[in-house]
Amino acid sequence: MDWIKDTVNRVQIGQWILIAFGLIAGVGAFVIGITDNIPGILTLTFAIACAVGVWVWNWRSPRRFWILLGIAVLSFPVGVVLHNLFYALGILAEDYQILVGILGFLEVIFFLLAVLVAGPAVVIALIGGIITSWKGITGTAKSNRSYRRFIESHLISEKILKQFVNLARLSASGANRQPLKYILSFTEERNQKIFPTLSWAGYLKDWKGPVEGEKPSAYIILLGDTTLASSFQYDAGIACQSILLGAAERGLGGCIIGSINKDTLRENLGIPDPYVILLVLALGKPGEKVVIDDLEPEGDIKYWRDGKDVHHVPKRGLDELILDL
């Protein structure tokens, strides 16, 4: 039952508030009555809106909200048509009680979809899409933190990893040499060959790295092709940032890892000699909360975790970074 405990721990306070309001409204709707009863129907609609809100709470990608909006808008006419269809079929099949029962159940489901679910989903998708789109690059950059604990069960497909690499491909490259190559890993078998070669969070001396259930679900290994260039550090940094911004835009996260047992990794994956192992990007659905703190004068730059296991990252102020010369 550890997964239940982990799920409960990841639910944020705002979600708990929505869950509470949703349960109260749901129970209240059935107490009031929802059959041809406008107050009861409105109360149930509010409960459903709370449920949708809990579901989308951690979404950070505008794309997901716009997709939800499209589906919700289409679900109303589809629900109405199917509701009427199953109602008519139920009348035609009145001599077959079991079939009538099945058709009646489907009739009610699509009625609820059209009348109760579509509306709240449209409103929440529209609000969420506007808010996440309005945040723009600033919001994406703020959510692009170094995550070291993930929801391992949330898989990332090869298609998505290729989209991330394409962002790196479109980014700047010194003298336009484009000397970087990439190895994608998204299967448990290959991930197990990569994870033991990595070292995590040097500032957290008592933490040995993510445990089972918290490990990354995918990796992108950055290689330098020595037949094309002899220096790769600028290209690698640009590529990593492009990939991680793309991951943040999708509600994913990652960590750039440079502390690698490169000999073992090369042997485990059979990486040929012309390629230099530069960095490993660990990717997944974030399983921890990371916040930015203002770095006080003479403060410590080391990241740390508080009693609630929130990861804190001190950042120097903007005035300290800009020189007035």
Residue 143: the pLDDT is 87
Write down the pTM of the prediction: 0.71
**Contact between residue 55 and residue 68 where contact means Cβ atoms under 8 Å apart:** no
Residue 257: the pLDDT is 97
Whole-angstrom distance, CA of residue 87 vs CA of residue 111: 10
Q: Which residues of the chain have pLDDT under 50?
A: 3
Residue 112: the pLDDT is 81
Residue 104: the pLDDT is 85
**Contact between residue 269 and residue 193 where contact means Cβ atoms under 8 Å apart:** yes
Residue 286: the pLDDT is 92
Residue 199: the pLDDT is 95
**Per residue in 187-220, pLDDT tens?**
999 999 999 999 998 899 889 999 999 999 999 9
Q: Is 53 exposed, middle or buried (0-12, 13-18, 19+ CB in 10 A)?
A: buried
Residue 137: the pLDDT is 81
Give the chain's length.
325
Residue 9: the pLDDT is 54
Residue 61: the pLDDT is 77
Tokens of 65: 């909200």
User: Alpha helix locations (H) across the chain?
Assistant: 2-10, 13-32, 38-56, 62-92, 97-112, 118-143, 158-169, 188-194, 233-249, 262-269, 318-321
Domains of the chain: 2-136 (no CATH), 158-288 (3.40.109.10)
Q: Tell me how far CA of residue 43 lies from CA of 27, 125, 216, in angstroms.
A: 9, 20, 41
